[in-house]
A and B are shown apart, each in its own frame.
Chain A
Amino acid sequence: MMSYIIRRILYAIPILIGVNILTFLLFFYVNTPDDIAKAQLGEKRVSQEAIEQWKQSKGYDKPILWNAEATGIQKLGDTIFFDKSIRMIFFDFGSSDSGRDINYDISQRMWPSLAIAIPTLLIGLTVNITIALMIVFFRGTAIDTWAVVFCVFLLSISSLFYIIGGQFFFSKMLHLVPISGYDTGASAIKFLILPIIIGVIGGIGGGVRWYRTLFIEEIEKDYVRTARAKGLKEITVLFRHILNNAMIPILTGVVVILPLLFMGSLLMESFFSIPGLGSYTIDGIQRQDFAIVRSMVYLGSVLYIIGLILTDISYTIVDPRVRLN
């Protein structure tokens, strides 16, 4: 077990290096720091001095890969590549283009993101699985057919509509909760309810349809017939036997996204002005803050790979038949 985990982590290293090199090429070769400076300063004809000044203040004034003027190890060390990319591998993100410490911002903004993402995931999971099991209970009838059609309808609606419509209906017409904002401590709840509800509703279409297929596959297996033959109630069969056995595919889907919950939901957070990592990313994109976007790309990949490793590990815990080799 231990050796398997270590091997998986070792496999992850070349992938992370790949991501790192890719972002480096994208941000420093496709467009040189000069181009970025021009775009940031906004004017068509920017003087070379202004560009140099901007580069110096952001730390982009060093040579990209090889510093011929430096001596010894500094030839490699005193470059943009070392400053920005090698440090990023060890999670030292440095400061953003507007001068703030990215590591500090991430540690602060992580919590509001989690405060939305975790309840949305848990409630969504419960709601989706319950509805899916109920649909499976009525399988083959008109209720089943129409429920599936309704799911397709729900998942055809843009997530923007759920957010805009939800804000309009719950906040503007019914005045139940504030439209947007955030607060610390217990008073944050009134700001969190609406995003969570909208997140759950927006996920119903896709979720229920997916879980229904899982359960339908499971229901044709022999152990289900045995359970029914023993005289168990259909409800017991569904919630005890089928749900337990469908746990493996459900877990794969959930565990893989668990680490990414840190990144928060981009749309939700920026519509509800919640100071999480999602809105941090969007702000970074909209203000063209390349340091932030670069850090988030790297962080996202790391979390995704952690998710994959966790999935493999969780297999062994849920299903003793799976041996990791």
Chain B
Amino acid sequence: MSIFTIQPVFLITDILLFLLVAIAVGYFCYARQHAHLVTPWKHLSKNSVAMGSAAILLAYLSIAVVDSIHFKLPSENYSKEDPHYQPEALSLLDVWLKPLRDKSEKSYSSPFASQLFTKESIEQKNGSTIWDYPSLRYGGVHLNEGQSKSADILIRSIPGVIKGLLLGALVLILLTLYHRKKSPQPLFYHMQQILKGQCSIQWRPFLFVSTGLFIISGIIIELSQVYHVFGTDKIGDSILYQSLKSIRTGILIGTLTTLVMLPFAIILGIAAGYFRGWIDDLIQYIYTTLNSIPSLLLIAAVMLMLQVHLNNNAEDYNSLLERADLRLLFLCMILSVTSWTGLCRYLRAESLKLREMDYIAAARTMGVSHISILSRHILPNVTHIVLITVILDFSGLVLAEAMLAYVQIGVDPTTESWGNMINSARLEMAREPAVWWSLTAAFTFMLILVLAANLFSDAVRDALDPRGQHYD
């Protein structure tokens, strides 16, 4: 099987995510050539909390990107003349995590368990049955009788730690080479500067956090060869796999929502502030009306309607994945309808202020058209507000996803998401003894992302918002 025999599949959300990454890279390249745009980011790169959380955000984002490359593998009877593909589209992450997907147990098993969580009647070799915990099919089968499990876990995690440290060292070397290109001091000097945290950019927290992440993932990769590190769920699927797959959903909801709303918020907000008069009145009326509907109820109403539509027109969609994807996109769109009003109001206030500035008046007397005043003089001066909003909204949206899933108006039930994991696992806490690992994994993965995003956005606000000079 070669790389040419796969059939790429492009989901709408995949394309939008790549578009978003492209926009971010494009902005970065553009900003590098403009001193006034670079200054706040330089300020940000000196903030150690921001750099540390950036490492975590980058890790989550790269998993989401890897999980967004979808394709169909050729089926068994594939031939050049008559190409057949497997019906189910997979992502690159799915292929990489294939061992995790295949090793499914019968039912619940706790983390690192070698036996099922519930007792069953097991048939002995001599024909009699006993009531006991059956052994797992995959988890911990390599263990010999009487071998200590904790010792085994410890020994097996050592290679993971070493690999993680090596990767961390690789990052350090790359960073050193990068700084070496800029100034002629010896390599060792740069390395020392980075490690001491005296570099022009605070690489030290970034390096430490990413090395930590490498070590943790190294250990998890090593251990997940023979154990279920986060346990298995009701139908025996790996919790680790579900948590990793959920990252894409979380990231997509957090970013695409703002991406979808940006054009509306920017155009309407700036137009309201710049033109004033009846345009202003109309736009204000629109956003006050939308704002006055409690957002959860508006989302519920729209999602119910979408559900009705999808159920009645189920045959229009080629696959479950496509349908779930459409629903995810729709959720982003409706979330953006409820969240654009804030940004719109800020932009309106800012352009109200800007339009009275001398340079705008000068442009107007010189006969510059409205369109070019808006796009060349006003828009560039409100980008910082847009950026702050994008980053500030992110964490709230990730949390909102979990809540919506509980109300059953969130993403499609077949899509892996933390909200769906929590929703299907919340009754398990009432069991005796409680099944805690599925919830814990979902909450932990979510907490790390949201915490990193919150810390990062605080730093961004301090760096970018000239008004927000806090007392520190």
> Footprint of B on A, CB under 8 Å?
14-15, 18-19, 22-23, 26-27, 30-31, 35-36, 38-39, 139-140, 152-153, 155-161, 164, 167-168, 172, 179, 213, 216, 219-220, 260, 263, 266-267, 281-282, 285-286, 288, 290, 293-294, 296-297, 300-301, 304-305
> Judging by beta carbons under 8 Å apart, are A267 and B308 in contact?
no
> Judging by beta carbons under 8 Å apart, are A22 and B289 in contact?
yes
> Judging by beta carbons under 8 Å apart, are A293 and B309 in contact?
no
Residues of chain B in range 284-333 having any CB-CB distance to chain A below 8 Å:
285, 288-289, 291-294, 296-298, 300-302, 304-305, 307-309, 311-312
Contact of A168 among B285, B311, B399, B429 (CB under 8 A): B429
Q: How far apart sit A119 and B85, CA to CA, in the bound complex (Å)? A: 60
- Measured between beta carbons, the chain A residues less than 8 angstroms from B311 are 38-39
- Measured between beta carbons, the chain A residues less than 8 angstroms from B407 are 266, 282, 285-286
> Footprint of A on B, CB under 8 Å?
285, 288-289, 291-294, 296-298, 300-302, 304-305, 307-309, 311-312, 395, 399, 402-403, 406-409, 422, 426, 429-430, 434, 439, 443, 446-447, 450-451, 454-455, 458, 470-472
User: Distance in Å from the Cβ of A100 to the closest Cβ of chain B?
Assistant: 19
CB closest residue in chain B, given A278: B296
User: Please, could you name 29 A-B residue pairs with CB atoms under 8 Å apart, sorted by A?
Assistant: A15-B285, A15-B288, A26-B305, A31-B305, A31-B308, A35-B309, A36-B308, A139-B471, A140-B472, A152-B454, A156-B447, A157-B450, A158-B403, A158-B443, A159-B399, A160-B443, A161-B443, A161-B447, A164-B429, A168-B429, A216-B471, A263-B294, A266-B407, A285-B304, A286-B408, A288-B308, A293-B301, A297-B297, A305-B292
CB closest residue in chain A, given B313: A35
Q: How far apart sit A288 and B303, CA to CA, in the bound complex (Å)? A: 10
> Judging by beta carbons under 8 Å apart, are A156 and B454 in contact?
yes
User: Distance in Å from the Cβ of A212 to the closest Cβ of chain B?
Assistant: 9
- Measured between beta carbons, the chain B residues less than 8 angstroms from A168 are 429, 434
Q: How far apart sit A282 and B385, CA to CA, in the bound complex (Å)? A: 35
Contact of B402 among A19, A139, A158, A216 (CB under 8 A): A158
> Judging by beta carbons under 8 Å apart, are A14 and B450 in contact?
no
- Measured between beta carbons, the chain B residues less than 8 angstroms from A263 are 294
- Measured between beta carbons, the chain B residues less than 8 angstroms from A161 are 443, 447
CB closest residue in chain B, given A308: B292
Q: How far apart sit A180 and B294, CA to CA, in the bound complex (Å)? A: 26
Q: How far apart sit A167 and B430, CA to CA, in the bound complex (Å)? A: 9
The residue in B297, B305, B406 that gathers the most chain A C-beta atoms within 10 A of its C-beta is B297
Given A15-B289, A18-B285, A285 contacting B471 (CB threshold 8 A):
no
Contact of A290 among B297, B304, B309, B443 (CB under 8 A): B304
Contact of B312 among A39, A152, A219 (CB under 8 A): A39
User: Distance in Å from the Cβ of A266 to the closest Cβ of chain B?
Assistant: 6
- Measured between beta carbons, the chain B residues less than 8 angstroms from A281 are 297, 300
- Measured between beta carbons, the chain A residues less than 8 angstroms from B430 are 172, 179
> Judging by beta carbons under 8 Å apart, are A26 and B294 in contact?
no
Contact of B296 among A35, A266, A301 (CB under 8 A): A266
> Judging by beta carbons under 8 Å apart, are B289 and A18 in contact?
yes
Contact of B446 among A158, A172, A285 (CB under 8 A): A158
Q: How far apart sit A179 and B427, CA to CA, in the bound complex (Å)? A: 12
Given A282-B407, A297-B297, A172 contacting B289 (CB threshold 8 A):
no
> Judging by beta carbons under 8 Å apart, are B408 and A140 in contact?
no
- Measured between beta carbons, the chain A residues less than 8 angstroms from B408 are 285-286
- Measured between beta carbons, the chain B residues less than 8 angstroms from A164 are 422, 426, 429, 439
- Measured between beta carbons, the chain A residues less than 8 angstroms from B296 are 266
CB closest residue in chain B, given A30: B305
